Every structure is written in structure tokens, then in C-alpha cells.
Amino acid sequence: MANTDPILRDQRQIDSGHLKILGIFYYITSGLSLAGLLLLFLHYKFMSMIFTSTNFPSNPPGGLANPFRVFIWFYLVLGALGLLAGAMNFFTARSLSRRKHRSFIFVAAILNCLNLPFGTVLGVITIILLMKDTVIIQFTENDGTNLAPLETPSSETNSDSD
């Protein structure tokens, strides 16, 4: 665990700082997802007031008997996706701070790339950082796995003495 190479030690400290900042951004993204749920709920309340008002025709000609029922499914699906995204980002932030569950963080980063534009930037930076050897070492030390770090081939030549 105690590495004598000062360059590697400095790089691990830099990467630890980067992982800490990424964790903060994942907490912020999780909070924004939950704020989006609040806005979705307010939108639902506003639309339900419009559709249930006395001025709105209850049975429009050639239309649905209750058009708001279609919107309810829309709100449920978006609410479930927002809740899952918020929970995923929160768990990703906790995993980054504990240096555990690297595979889950990798999958969460890929899924965050679908959330334009901030999720894409966050996901790409996370993927790039998780691919670094010094970060892999930090995660393997905390996960308890015995994966050896990637090493460069040595410059020793095989000499055959006859």
C-alpha cells in the first residue's frame, strides 16, 4: 500500500480530489432530479385543475371522455424515471466517496450520458476518470478484490546463454 514512487503518489492524490468533486456533482444531480419531481407534481396539480374545472367540457365531440387519464400515465412514468435517476445518482455519489462499486458507477455514468447536456459531461468525465490505473487501484483496495494493477512490460531482455 505504501508506494515509494512520488509521481504515482501525487497522481493518486490528484485523482482522489477529482473523485471527490465528481461525487459532489452527482449529489447535485440527484438533488436536481428530486427538484424535477417537485416541478412535475406541480404541473400535475395545475393540469388536473384545468381538466376538472367546470368550464372544461366533460365529453367533447369526437374526443376522449376524460382526456386527463392519458396524462396520468405520462406523469407516473416520468415520476418513476425521475425517482430512479435521483436514487441512482445519490448511490453513485456515495459509492464514489467510499471508492466502491466501480462497475455500478460505470453503468450510472453511461446512463447519465442520456441526460443532456450536464449528464453527458458528467458521464464522460466519470468514464474517463474510472479508466485510469491509479483510480482502478483505489477501487480495488477498497472493494477487497485482489486484482493486480496494470503494469507496463519491463525492459528486460531474455538472454540465452549457451
Burial of 136 (0-12, 13-18, 19+ CB in 10 A): middle
Q: Would residue 148 count as lying in a domain? A: no
Domain count along the chain = 1
Q: Would residue 115 count as lying in a domain? A: yes
What is the residue-level pLDDT of the chain in tens, covering all 162 positions?
455 567 667 888 888 899 999 999 999 999 999 999 999 999 999 988 887 776 666 566 656 566 677 788 889 999 999 999 999 999 999 999 988 899 999 999 999 999 888 899 999 999 999 999 888 888 888 766 555 544 555 544 454 554
The Cα 22–Cα 61 span in angstroms is 54
The Cα 94–Cα 100 span in angstroms is 9
The Cα 98–Cα 105 span in angstroms is 12
pLDDT of 137 reads 87
Q: Would residue 152 count as lying in a domain? A: no
Q: Would residue 103 count as lying in a domain? A: yes
User: Is residue 33 within 8 Å of residue 27, measured between CB atoms?
Assistant: no
Q: Would residue 99 count as lying in a domain? A: yes
What residue type is assigned to position 80 of the chain? A
Q: Would residue 60 count as lying in a domain? A: no
Give the structural domain span for 45: 8-55+67-143
User: Is residue 126 within 8 Å of residue 22, measured between CB atoms?
Assistant: yes
Q: Would residue 160 count as lying in a domain? A: no
Query: Three cell numbers at 29?
Result: 444531480
pLDDT of 69 reads 75
